[in-house]
Chain A
Amino acid sequence: MSTLLQEMNDRALKAGIPLGVQVDLTYRCNERCVHCYLDHHDYGEMTTAEIVDALDQLAEAGVFFLTFSGGEVQMRTDFFQILEHARSLLFCVKVKTNAFMIREKEADRLRELAVESVQVSIYSHRPEVHDAITKLPGSLKRSLAGIRLLRERGVKTIIANVLMRQNLQDYPGVIALAKDLGAVYTIDPTITPMMDGDRSILSLGISQQELRQVFRTPELVGNVEEFCAPPKPADGETLEELPCSASHTFCYISPYGDVYPCVQFPLPTGNLRTQKFVDIWRHSPQMKAVRSIHARDLPVCSTCAHVGSCTRCPGLAYMEGSMRGPSSLDCERSFARTGVPSANMLAKKQEQEARNNKQVGWTQLVQIGAAR
């Protein structure tokens, strides 16, 4: 992060300003990605007028970074009308899309409206792998064509490569594609549960051993030594740190106007159809509850060797049972990076051993009983 951006973030944090917001305009999508954490129904999305009003309120509240995502944003026929309004309010806009529907006209509009960047998920350089993940035949070809049109116009484009068992071996091909297209390449090696708590899609994720390998690949993580460095001992300052930007300088708005602390933090804090954004942001008890969490308050994680360097997501922890509890997915990441098990992993291991001992004791008792 640049010094100025860090300074901006610190000032926003101090002043209680939501510097960044993600608005999902719709959950509808033309793709059906196997690992997607959303359903794709429309339960009554905000109207154009409601979104325009929401954007006015966000600008008023001081929001600078605005991400439009979904679902697929272009499933909304008013997408460019919304984007145009957002840019007239001078938001720094990032668009997440599968780029399937970006043709010349759409690429021209995205350039004219000076979006900061467009992020597109590409799973493989091979159509049979990419299209099997999106379940939309021809999607790789169309998405790459969309990216090409954006790059021809100088629009900054980011290729996000979610790594799963079925596409892990293809990342070199996606890196080469990104290079060829002049796009920025990023990876995301974590599959997260569905918003309704269903964890079945986690089985699509890569194994612990594969994750260790990913984290030791310079092309994917940069400086391996730095990235995989053992955790430093926590001091008083570390324990005062905030878990992340959720509810502090960032929040998320669903297509139905529900406001949440973050994208994958399904704790409702209010709804824009009945409340003003600034009232939710400042006064919602749920926002305040998330805001009150410091590392020292986390019963398990405050004792963990990784407390100062873990990417612990309070939203995933919330979905696992408690926003103050551990997020097992992040424990696994920390372990894969450093080889040092987290306090949560050690506690679970102890519990398992205690259970095994009890079972052994009972078995012995039965055997003794049977022998008599």
Chain B
Amino acid sequence: MNPVYIARSKDVAARSLEGEMMIMSAHNSTLFSLNDVGTVIWEAADGQTSLEEIVERKVGAEFDVELGEALKDAENFVRELAAHGILLLADQPIALSSATSKEHS
């Protein structure tokens, strides 16, 4: 399977509220709340690290999960966010100009 790279869209507002990431799409003002696993994936979505690496290095390190299962769930999760324009998905590293470049609290 091709690797999946993810980057945060620049067309969102986001803030961590007590460990959960609140994200609002600028396209339609829809508000999303990510749980702790989703937040880890969101924060690691730098466009340069593949989803597989993120799941292995971040999710696997912080949560008690079976990696194969976690990767499958993560793929569904990122595709859903991509459908709402919150994440950018590609099969190769993503240039930062199309995504948010700054870390946030």
Binding site for B on A (CB under 8 A): 2, 4-5, 7-8, 11-12, 15, 17, 59-60, 62-64, 87-93, 114-117, 156
Contacts and interface: CB of A to CB of B under 8 A. Distances in A.
11 contacts: A8-B22, A11-B17, A12-B17, A60-B105, A64-B13, A64-B17, A64-B22, A90-B100, A90-B102, A116-B13, A116-B24
A2 B25 CA distance: 14
B72 interface: no
Given A8-B31, A88-B102, A93 B17 contact: no
Which of A15, A87, A156 counts the most B-chain CB atoms under 10 A from its CB? A87
Given A114-B10, A116-B13, A116-B26, A59 B18 contact: no
A62 B104 CA distance: 10
B57 interface: no
B26 A88 contact: no
A15 B16 CA distance: 13
A88 B101 contact: yes
Contact of A114 (B22, B26, B104, B105): B26
Contacts of A114: 10-12, 26
B33 interface: yes
Interface in B52-75: none
Interface of B: 10-18, 22, 24, 26, 29, 31-33, 100-102, 104-105
Contacts of A64: 13, 15, 17, 22, 24
Contacts of B13: 64, 90-93, 116
Contacts of B101: 88
Nearest to A15: B18
A90 B31 contact: no
Nearest to B11: A114
Contacts of A63: 15
A4 B29 contact: no
A89 to B, nearest CB: 6
| CB-CB nearest 7 A-B residue pairs | A92-B13, A114-B26, A114-B11, A64-B15, A90-B14, A90-B104, A88-B102
A190 to B, nearest CB: 26
Nearest to B23: A90
A350 to B, nearest CB: 48
B56 to A, nearest CB: 27
A92 B15 CA distance: 9
Given A90-B12, A91-B13, A114-B12, A4 B33 contact: yes
Contacts of A8: 17, 22, 31, 33
Given A5-B31, A89-B104, A90-B100, 9 more contacts: A8-B33, A59-B15, A59-B104, A62-B15, A62-B16, A90-B15, A114-B11, A115-B26, A156-B29
Contacts of B10: 87, 114
Nearest to A60: B105
Which of B14, B22, B104 counts the most A-chain CB atoms under 10 A from its CB? B22
A90 B9 CA distance: 11
Contacts of B105: 59-60, 62
Contact of B31 (A2, A87, A117): A2
Contacts of A5: 31
Which of A5, A62, A64, A91 counts the most B-chain CB atoms under 10 A from its CB? A64
Contacts of B17: 8, 11-12, 15, 17, 62, 64
